[in-house]
Chain A
Amino acid sequence: MSLTGTDLRNLLLAGLALGLCALLPLADGGYWLGLGVTVTMFTVLATSWALFSGPTHYISLATAAFFGIGTYVTGLGFETLPFWSLVGIAGVIGAALAALVGLATLRLSGVYFVIFTLGLAELVRQVITWVQNSTGQRGLYVLTDLQEAGIYWWLLGLATAVFLTGWLVGRSRLGFALRIIGDDEVVAAHSGINTARAKVLLFMVPGAVAAMTGAILAPRYVYIEPSLAFAPILSFQVVIMALLGGASRLWGPLLGVIPFTIILEVVSSNFPNQTTLVIGIAFLLIVYVLPGGFVALPDRLLARINRPGGGA
């Protein structure tokens, strides 16, 4: 692979932006840092989600399941193992589980996948609750010396890894294969692409990333229990943010994460009972007003302007 001048310039700009973001904890340690952690967390989750769902159009609702597993990895292991290894273990478990889910469902049509991932978090939650009940535990205390700033830097590092992975996948044979699958799976299969293998491989990325995010964020919760760690709403928030921004570009989800995080923050602090309504309206807006997300907006506007004059 060769890098052109534009590639180098983009990498440099991205590096600069990242450096600026890394300085946030030095400027403010309170509200803004907290918001920064939330935004970075959703950036990581939504971008990795779009890596898989953008090209393939499969809607994954498994984020909460992987995330919850990650928090439990930290919750169970923080006393015996160093923190960095827990993040790694969570990633491996997440990838392995994603591979299993992918093998079972990705050979079939998209509907099966949606339904399966929709219930996955609930399934894992029920099993963990059951295990805890039969062993007499309630929840887990996660007491580490990791501060908010530390969590933020960890997440920023993960975000960098996700963007780099996405950039590399986009340039690789795998990325090309996935775009063909997304356009027409029959064509892809006929040109010799092992479609199931490509989809399963790529699905492992959001699985691993979501589990690692959960592992990193566990210390922030201090106390974790199944209903908190596997809250299904997380999966939906990630889907909305990614689609609102646009899943067709690597940086698209970022455009959805920032406004929607702020909207949710405002709504949940002023009208705590209306968050579900807001999420519902966001879904409807995406389908009826913003198909393709903010990223596709300029193209759609241009098409609208050109249509009357351009009709040959």
Chain B
Amino acid sequence: MDILITGLLLGGTYALIAMGLNLQYGVARIMNLANGEILVAGGYFAFIAYTSVLLSPLLTIFLLAPLAFAANWLIYRIMLQPLVNRAKTRGQLETDSILATFGLSFVGVGLMLSFFGGDYFSYSFMAVPVEIVGGTYGANRVISFAMAFVICGALYLWLNRSRSGLAIRAIATAPASARLVGIDVKRLSALAFALGGAVTAVGGALISTYLTLDASVGVVFTLKALIIVIMGGVGDVRGTIIAALLLGVVETAVATLIDPGLTLAAAYVMFLGILLFRPQGLFGKKTT
């Protein structure tokens, strides 16, 4: 029971991060391997805001989200749009964007290392115990989960109920046909990429309230987010959330029952299972 709830709480934040990546990959077709660095940058932002002006991370995210949105929009427009334009095939875009975002990821780590140094950073925010069905959990974890839940829910509603959400889903399904019905694919792709980055940065700020981060930890989160997105199915919000919760629970179970050093290995075994048996994702339909 303890494992289940801790796992679900962790999975909630994972869901948020993976949603960000899913928007970027599913809509803008950019497999953003610098996703984890955006997350760590969000964490640093919350850390600095809290330690210097005592701004609560729950308020910081309202400042962080538009900033991260703008930064990611610029990254897409300046660096990734040219790749989209020059790519002749989907495969070429994939290779180019993987290499370019690897570059961004390393540059991000390098910059953060030179600004903040290689030390771990953490702060104590709402580290008071809360009781849920017999067990006690940190209030920061519970609040992060609640925030992640609200944001995921809002995104889900927006994608499924609003007109722009419909357009975004159209691009994710068939980018070529979306243009034919008058959807501005370029503008909305940039928007989806920026939105994905903002969601990830907010996830980073939330996760920094209860996990210790350092400048080079980003790649671990990138990997987890990638595994979640593939498990849940590209462009599938519901699948992403379920896969994220599943990963949170499995990881926590392995960490408590076997060894905390094996969390990524556990995620990997799940990933391998998906690749072997359901490469289209948990809820994906088989492609013909």
Contacts and interface: CB of A to CB of B under 8 A. Distances in A.
A283 B265 contact: no
Nearest to B107: A280
Interface string B85-119: 00000011011101110111111111101100010
Interface residues of B, number: 42
A168 interface: no
Contact of B98 (A114, A119, A122, A134): A114
A222 interface: no
Contacts of A109: 91, 94
Contacts of B94: 109-111
A274 B110 contact: yes
Contacts of B91: 57, 109-110
Nearest to A110: B94
Contact of B110 (A114, A133, A277, A291): A277
A112 B279 contact: yes
A160 interface: no
A274 B112 CA distance: 11
Most buried by B among A112, A130, A275, A280: A280
Contact of B111 (A57, A127, A275, A277): A277
Contact of B106 (A108, A243, A279): A279
Interface stretch (B161-169, B179-187, B194-202, B269-277): B269-277
Contacts of B31: 111, 114
B264 A273 contact: no
Contacts of B271: 115-116, 119
Contacts of B54: none
A284 B275 contact: no
Contact of B264 (A110, A115, A122): A122
B156 to A, nearest CB: 24
Given A115-B226, A123-B268, A110 B110 contact: no
Interface in A37-69: 57, 59
A280 B226 contact: no
A262 B174 CA distance: 46
Contacts of B109: 276-277, 280
Interface in A248-307: 273-284, 286-288, 291
19 contacts: A111-B98, A112-B279, A115-B226, A115-B227, A118-B219, A123-B264, A126-B261, A127-B262, A277-B109, A277-B114, A280-B107, A281-B103, A282-B103, A283-B99, A283-B100, A283-B103, A286-B103, A287-B99, A287-B103
Interface of B: 31, 82-83, 91-92, 94-96, 98-100, 102-111, 113-114, 118, 216, 219, 223, 226-227, 230, 258-259, 261-262, 264-265, 268, 271-272, 275-276, 279
Interface of A: 57, 59, 104-105, 107-112, 114-116, 118-119, 122-123, 126-127, 129-130, 133-134, 232, 236, 243, 273-284, 286-288, 291
